[in-house]
Amino acid sequence: MCGVVGFLGSTTFPDRDSATSTLRRMADRIVTRGPDSDGYWFDADDQIGFGHRRLAIVDLSPAGHQPMAAPSGRYMTVFNGEIYNHIELREQLEASGDAPAWRGHSDTETMLACLDAWGLERTVRACTGMFAIAVWDRQTKQLSLVRDRLGEKPLYYGWQGTGNAATFLFASELKALKAHPAFSAGIDRGALTLLLRHNCIPAPYSIHEGIRKLEPGEILSVSLRAREPRIQAYWSVAEAVEQGRASPFQGSPAEAVDELESLLSASIKRQMMADVPLGAFLSGGIDSSTVVALMQAQSSRPVKTFTIGFNEEGYNEAVHAKAVARHLGTEHTELYVPAPKALDVVPKLASLYCEPFSDSSQIPTYLVSELARQHVTVSLSGDAGDELFAGYGRYTWTHRLWGRISRCPTSLRRMGAAAITSVPPGAWNGMLRPLRPLLPQALRIANLGDRLHKGAQVLAHQTQDELYRSLVSHWMQPAEIVRDGSEPATRLTSGQFDALTGIEKMMALDAVSYLPDDILVKVDRAAMGVSLETRVPMLDHRLVEFAWRLPLDYKLRDSTSKWVLRQLLYRHVPKALIERPKMGFGVPLDMWLRTSLKDWAEALLDESRLRREGFFDPAPIRRKWQEHLSGSRNWHYQLWDVLMFQAWLDHERV
């Protein structure tokens, strides 16, 4: 795991030393991604430079140092990530007589040997892993950027400057690009509207105009002769979905569990490859428990596992994680985090996340990464189980709800929504308070009026797609909040999965949007902020392809989500330790904004400041802030979107 930086076409450097100095400044901005060593390479004739920060995981010797040249000398690379099957690739090269005299045992050296033998596209297709790669071809004078299939590792790029004097920049994080003298990008207001809708900025957009993110499964090629980047996909979720539907799994449920265990165990075995201490996050839920169980089954000594707990009711899974760890016999470390320690993370978020990012579970993710890093350098996680095996409650909730409300004409539903919202939330609370003992348990909540208003929004939707999009949105009309904002097209609006319906369509959309743009970004930046490598065994592309071959009934059966994954887990962990309501990995943000974070938030949401800066219409923001403070509504998700942008903006000015 490392950080990469580079540029092409920079003519502003009088000598090699000045170019290297710029590369070093860029790389130093992302030093936590690679604190062990650094390296730089610059070719003045071709106007190309690479920089690298190394977190040594495999082959800790100087033989793994980057930038690294291919044995032929044709290719130069900087590489971030891991190729888990690189030993098998070496064996293939040796069997065909294409292997060089190996200098070490790093996967970077393997990848370069494959480039010499097979070329770029075949090499990338042969690699199983997570990676962001830059390759310079001395023969064709072409720069290629590659991102892994599911988007675990980030890669930003873009031209800065004008005409033939422009410079093409790339890096693992935006903050590195800003250290290059050519960088001058302004804020992209379209990307800002997407932040308000999704609490993240989806690829290919970034917060800066002219700077993009390479999307998962893509290869970008650019040169000084052909300056317009050419992008091709070498793998995609859409292709995996199409092939899975064309060739569905024909085995029995028990055979599906067997195949899943085989694929996931093999993925975990490969991902336990490391020359440094390794462990796993353990929440005690289905996904992380399955990963840890299969790790322990393949390990001759106790696996190191980590979890954090909170004393606030409804936010603590540590007790469940401890029970699973005890049963599996792991070497378990838990840390109960007092509220002040969690709040101490908030000022770090703008630096950790190099562009505005507002999934508030970023706070506990950072804390558990910080805990793990005190003991290990690599940690496996259970991410992606929900997207692959229908784990999110919103899938079944949306499908069932739409089945009921769609029977009623849209006009009547809109009239009902208007009637509900015509009564203020506080008035609803007052009217229903005497009836509270008579209501079902699910409706005996303190602020039912707020829930009724939010529920009323659901009634007006015309399609299930609209309903799903509203459930994954924070601000419903973000372009009305951002001044001069317009909302760009995204994967959610592309119609890419229109051949799918219902739950499978929601799963596919999450796999190309929520998973890479939110979940994987959250984990990567939090972990890399403390120099911890994270690995996601369920994102082995062969396992993803298998999951899309499974009938939906094997994932969601008799109202049980992740059915096939649960059956696998029950082979290793008693059902009684696992079965409980799903709990999000969150913090009591709504309460914090009314108490400990109130003054901090008030300063960032000050009306005169918002008006002066000119990015937002202050009125709807201030209205939501006052309603939140009064307790009449819960707007913490929407407010956190704005607050994270404001905090990021402050950080940029320093």
Where b means 16+ CB within 10 Å and e means fewer, 156-185 reads bbbbbbeeeebbbbbbbbbbbbbbbebbeb
Whole-number pLDDT of residue 13: 81
Whole-number pLDDT of residue 427: 61
Poorest-confidence range of 234-238, 409-413, 560-564? 409-413
* Rounded CA separation 549/242 (Å): 9
Q: What is the mean pLDDT of residues 194-218?
A: 98
Q: Which tens digit of pLDDT belongs to each residue from 566-587?
A: 999 999 999 999 887 666 667 8
- Residues 6+ positions from 444 with CB-CB distance below 8 Å: 436, 437
DSSP at 35? B
Closest by CA to 280, choosing from 302, 252, 310, is 302
Q: What is the mean pLDDT of residues 581-601?
A: 86
Whole-number pLDDT of residue 402: 74
Q: What is the mean pLDDT of residues 240-256?
A: 97
Burial of 356 (0-12, 13-18, 19+ CB in 10 A): buried
Whole-number pLDDT of residue 114: 98
Length of the chain: 654
Q: Which tens digit of pLDDT belongs to each residue from 116-153?
A: 999 999 999 999 999 999 999 999 999 999 999 999 99
Give the CA count within 13 Å in the CB-facing half-sphere of 424: 7
- Residues 6+ positions from 118 with CB-CB distance below 8 Å: 126
* Rounded CA separation 243/400 (Å): 28
Q: For residue 211, count other CB atoms closer than 10 A to its CB.
A: 25
Higher pLDDT pick, 450 / 628: 628
Strand boundaries in 485-550, DSSP class E? 533-535
Would you say 288 and 277 are in contact if contact means Cβ atoms under 8 Å apart? no
In this predicted structure, the answer to whether residue 403 has a pLDDT above a threshold of 90 is: no
> Distance of alpha carbon 582 from its chain centroid, rounded?
20
Whole-number pLDDT of residue 220: 98
Whole-number pLDDT of residue 525: 97
Whole-number pLDDT of residue 16: 87
Whole-number pLDDT of residue 536: 98
Q: Which tens digit of pLDDT belongs to each residue from 361-402?
A: 999 999 999 999 999 999 999 999 999 999 998 898 888 877
Q: Which tens digit of pLDDT belongs to each residue from 23-63?
A: 999 999 999 999 999 999 999 999 999 999 999 998 888 88
Whole-number pLDDT of residue 428: 53
Whole-number pLDDT of residue 464: 83
Whole-number pLDDT of residue 559: 83
Whole-number pLDDT of residue 437: 64
- The third-level CATH classification (topology) of the domain covering 2-235 is Glutamine Phosphoribosylpyrophosphate, subunit 1, domain 1 (3.60.20)
Using only C-alpha atoms, the chain has a radius of gyration, in whole angstroms, of 25
Whole-number pLDDT of residue 298: 96
* Rounded CA separation 503/308 (Å): 32
Tokens of 386: 């929900």
What percent of the chain clears pLDDT 90, i.e. is strictly above it? 79
Peptide bond into 516 cis (omega under 30): no
- Report the DSSP beta bridge partners of residue 137: 75, 142
Poorest-confidence range of 1-10, 418-427, 519-528, 543-552? 418-427
Whole-number pLDDT of residue 253: 96
* Rounded CA separation 383/535 (Å): 9
* Rounded CA separation 631/188 (Å): 33
In this predicted structure, the answer to whether residue 311 has a pLDDT above a threshold of 60 is: yes
DSSP state string for 69-84? E-TTSSEEEEEEEEET
DSSP at 516? I
Tokens of 391: 């784990």
- Report the DSSP beta bridge partners of residue 220: 145, 231
Poorest-confidence range of 300-314, 445-459, 548-562? 445-459
Q: What is the mean pLDDT of residues 279-301?
A: 96
Poorest-confidence range of 183-187, 213-217, 235-239, 394-398? 394-398
Would you say 213 and 194 are in contact if contact means Cβ atoms under 8 Å apart? no
Would you say 352 and 529 are in contact if contact means Cβ atoms under 8 Å apart? yes
Whole-number pLDDT of residue 426: 61
In this predicted structure, the answer to whether residue 266 has a pLDDT above a threshold of 90 is: yes
In this predicted structure, the answer to whether residue 186 has a pLDDT above a threshold of 90 is: yes
Q: Which tens digit of pLDDT belongs to each residue from 347-363?
A: 999 999 999 999 999 99
Would you say 284 and 317 are in contact if contact means Cβ atoms under 8 Å apart? yes
- Across all residues in the chain, what is the average pLDDT? 92
Q: Which tens digit of pLDDT belongs to each residue from 446-502?
A: 665 555 655 566 667 778 888 889 889 999 999 999 999 999 999 999 889 999 989
Q: Which tens digit of pLDDT belongs to each residue from 325-348?
A: 999 999 999 999 998 999 999 999
Whole-number pLDDT of residue 592: 94
Element (H, E) at 52: strand 48-54
CATH 3.60.20.10 in the chain is located at: 2-235
Q: Which amino acid is at 583?
A: M
DSSP state string for 395-419? HHHHHHHHHHHTTS-HHHHHHHHHH
Q: For residue 61, count other CB atoms closer than 10 A to its CB.
A: 12
Closest by CA to 520, choosing from 137, 215, 123, 111, is 215
Whole-model pTM: value is 0.93
Peptide bond into 67 cis (omega under 30): yes
Question: How would residue 558 be classed by pLDDT, with cut points 50, 70 and 90?
Answer: confident
Q: Which amino acid is at 377?
A: T
CATH 3.40.50.620 in the chain is located at: 251-390+515-577
- The third-level CATH classification (topology) of the domain covering 251-390+515-577 is Rossmann fold (3.40.50)
Q: For residue 369, count other CB atoms closer than 10 A to its CB.
A: 24
Q: What is the mean pLDDT of residues 321-327?
A: 96
Closest by CA to 208, choosing from 134, 143, 157, is 157
What percent of the chain clears pLDDT 70, i.e. is strictly above it? 91
- Residues 6+ positions from 59 with CB-CB distance below 8 Å: 104, 105, 106, 109, 275
Whole-number pLDDT of residue 434: 63
* Rounded CA separation 437/424 (Å): 22
Q: What is the mean pLDDT of residues 270-287?
A: 95
* Rounded CA separation 211/209 (Å): 6
Strand boundaries in 346-426, DSSP class E? 378-380
Whole-number pLDDT of residue 151: 97
* Rounded CA separation 498/302 (Å): 46
In this predicted structure, the answer to whether residue 91 has a pLDDT above a threshold of 80 is: yes
SS (H, E, C) 116-150: HHHCHHHHHHHCCEEEEEEEEECCCCEEEEEECCC
